[in-house]
Chains A and B, each alone.
Chain A
Amino acid sequence: MDDIVTEDLSKSYPSGWPGRPPFVALDGLSLTVRRGEIFGFLGPNGAGKTTTLKILLGLVRATSGRALLLGQPAGDVATRRRIGFLPESPYFYDYLTAEEFLGFYGQLAGLSRAVTTERANNLIQLVGLGEARTRQLRKFSKGMLQRIGLAQALIHDPELVILDEPMTGLDPVGRKQVRDLILSLRDQGKTVFFSTHILHDVEMICDRIGIVMKGRLVANGRIDELVRQNHIRSVEIVCQHVKTEGNALIHSLATRVLQQGQQCLIVLPSPDAVDALVAEIRRQGGRLLSVTPHKASLEDLFFHEAAQAVSHVSAHMTGGRAS
């Protein structure tokens, strides 16, 4: 069962100037989020993450393509009862107190007053705002707004939780709390779909991720699989009493050579070259101190995809100009 399915989703925003072509924010994005998983939607600023989330919630209409949430078309009013949403750097009615605020959203979701009060109390404790429950939101710090926003997204006990950059603007402690909260949601069997531009956030908690660049989904799947498929590991070798200067063989094998006194650090682009380098160290009578394979990281993949997206777009543009 898939909780979110998008097929070939595209969105163009009008440029606002007659004659100038519309801006393509999303370009044929297809992805699925499975029931009960934490899906990280990763991409740099301006990649189209917020646009995608807005389409899913019916705040923005897709130019073409289709999106289904919990089996219903995006924007279906009744289905929203089962969805929780936290927008990017949220703005709320600042004249309400934390309690009134959650009460309002509970009532909007159709909860009874009693249930709303009980859930609001629990959530206020959960997000650590017990002290501020009767304070107006205008007196909240950014981090506190993010927390009350999370509580708002969960007040009606939704099956599917959609969060736009939930950790942005929080301090390290706050980020960890949000990560723990997301993990506990999954433990309760909920599906979490969240966007972020921070690699670390998805690496820590996501079951699967999608990487979006310039409106296109450039990779999606389990992190370990993505990293394994896409990257050759580099290897770092540390040795002693080896003369590297002017050594053509070493320089042809290595991507980097760093001599520090007697010690030398040599970085090889792949494990294939290790044997040849070790043989050369032996030949010189040097000592091998360590061989450290470097796990390709999500970061490598991210930058690899970013570079490709840029070259793709520039190729596209020059192609367009030529024709």
Chain B
Amino acid sequence: MGAIGVIAVNAFRESLRDKILYNLVLFAGLLIGLSVLLADLSITEHHKVIADMGLAAINLIGVIIAMFVGISLVNKEIERRTIYTIMARPISRSFFIMGKYFGLALTLLVNMSVMLAVFLLTLWLYHIPIEQSLFQAVQLMFVEILVVTAIALFFSTFTSSTLSAIFTLGLYVIGHLTADLRAMVANSEGMIGKVVVDLLYYLCPNLEMLNIKGQAAVGVAAAPEYMLLASLYGLLYAGVLLTGACLVFQRRDF
């Protein structure tokens, strides 16, 4: 096993021994359960409420884990000085970053799978048809979470945990708004506003592209081409950020 693999497996092992992650996944289960209660209150769109809330719960918990574990992934190693003995080993700094990233990605994959299983079980118990679109939505959610993890990791290589959290959250929110903003200013007269929004649109990740929860909840599947394109876009964006994180990390003093 290469050095990246050793680091990744150990990062995964660390998360397995971290109780917070279990609690968060449990919390997602509770939210999904709550959706059933709420669905009972609404008379008309029983199915849609459960599907909507279930997907939202998986997404929320996934993003929270990605953001907070992503930020502490490297920061914690530096603050706790555990990084000294690791970086004194025959492993390059880039491999360390990539190992940590893949370790968290593996953790997230397992967490998302558990949450998805709870969600599907709930649907099955209530005799709600399980559409292909639900899997598609979760797939793109996972891509979004890989992007968010890369954003968090990138900021945490050069700023404090608090600033990283603010930046990551900011970029996440903007990432969901740029497409709408662009549509809004498209018809307006102001040039400057247009340029600024265009700049935001191209610089920030277009996370709305990875959000098909709305249509998935009502069983409308996305085209395979769209799925491929959106996934590639997200992975490319994450890759660029990860490269940036490695470059910044190369120059750091510990």
Which one of B6, B88, B254 contacts A104 once the chains associate, using CB atoms below 8 Å? B6
* Contacts between chains A and B (CB distance < 8 A), count: 75
**A-chain residues with CB within 8 Å of residue B190 when the two chains form the complex:** none
B84 CB-CB contact with A under 8 Å: yes
Whole-angstrom distance between the Cβ of B37 and the nearest chain A Cβ: 37
Of residues 108 to 136 in A, which have CB atoms within 8 Å of B's CB atoms? 108-110
Whether A107 touches B88, Cβ cut-off 8 Å, given contacts A60-B254, A93-B82, is: no
Which one of B13, B14, B81 contacts A91 once the chains associate, using CB atoms below 8 Å? B81
A85 x B84 contact (CB < 8 A) = yes
User: For the complex, what is the distance from the CA of A87 to the CA of B10, rounded to whole Å?
Assistant: 21
Which one of A54, A95, A108 contacts B3 once the chains associate, using CB atoms below 8 Å? A108
B86 x A87 contact (CB < 8 A) = no
User: For the complex, what is the distance from the CA of A232 to the CA of B17, rounded to whole Å?
Assistant: 61
**Chain B, Cβ-Cβ closest to A92:** B82
> B225-254 interface mask toward A, CB cutoff 8 Å, 1 = contact, 0 = none?
000000000000000000000000001011
Whole-angstrom distance between the Cβ of A115 and the nearest chain B Cβ: 14
**Chain A, Cβ-Cβ closest to B95:** A77
A81 CB-CB contact with B under 8 Å: yes
B90 x A95 contact (CB < 8 A) = no
**Chain B, Cβ-Cβ closest to A75:** B87
Which one of B6, B17, B84 contacts A108 once the chains associate, using CB atoms below 8 Å? B6
Whole-angstrom distance between the Cβ of A215 and the nearest chain B Cβ: 16
User: For the complex, what is the distance from the CA of A152 to the CA of B10, rounded to whole Å?
Assistant: 16
B23 CB-CB contact with A under 8 Å: no
**Chain B, Cβ-Cβ closest to A14:** B253
B89 CB-CB contact with A under 8 Å: yes
A58 CB-CB contact with B under 8 Å: yes
User: For the complex, what is the distance from the CA of A297 to the CA of B13, rounded to whole Å?
Assistant: 52
> Count of chain A residues with Cβ under 8 Å from any Cβ of B?
31
A59 CB-CB contact with B under 8 Å: yes
Whole-angstrom distance between the Cβ of B65 and the nearest chain A Cβ: 17
Please indicate which of the listed interface residues B10, B91, B92, B251 has the most CB atoms of chain A within 10 Å of its own CB: B10
B254 x A95 contact (CB < 8 A) = no
A227 CB-CB contact with B under 8 Å: no
Whether A93 touches B10, Cβ cut-off 8 Å, given contacts A54-B254, A59-B253, A107-B1, is: yes
> A18-62 interface mask toward B, CB cutoff 8 Å, 1 = contact, 0 = none?
000000000000000000000000000000000000100111110
Binding site for A on B (CB under 8 A): 1, 3, 6-7, 10, 13-14, 17-18, 80-92, 251, 253-254
Supply 28 A–B pairs (Cβ within 8 Å), ascending by A.
Answer: A57-B84, A58-B87, A58-B88, A59-B83, A59-B88, A59-B253, A77-B90, A80-B90, A83-B88, A87-B88, A90-B84, A90-B85, A91-B80, A91-B84, A92-B85, A93-B10, A95-B14, A95-B17, A95-B18, A96-B13, A100-B13, A107-B1, A107-B6, A108-B90, A108-B91, A109-B89, A152-B85, A153-B85
* Among all A-B residue pairs, the 5 with the closest Cβ atoms: A85-B88, A87-B84, A81-B90, A108-B89, A95-B17
Binding site for B on A (CB under 8 A): 54, 57-61, 77-81, 83, 85-87, 90-93, 95-96, 100, 104-105, 107-110, 149, 152-153
Known pairs A61-B253, A79-B90, A92-B85; list 5 more (Cβ under 8 Å): A54-B254, A57-B84, A91-B84, A108-B6, A108-B7
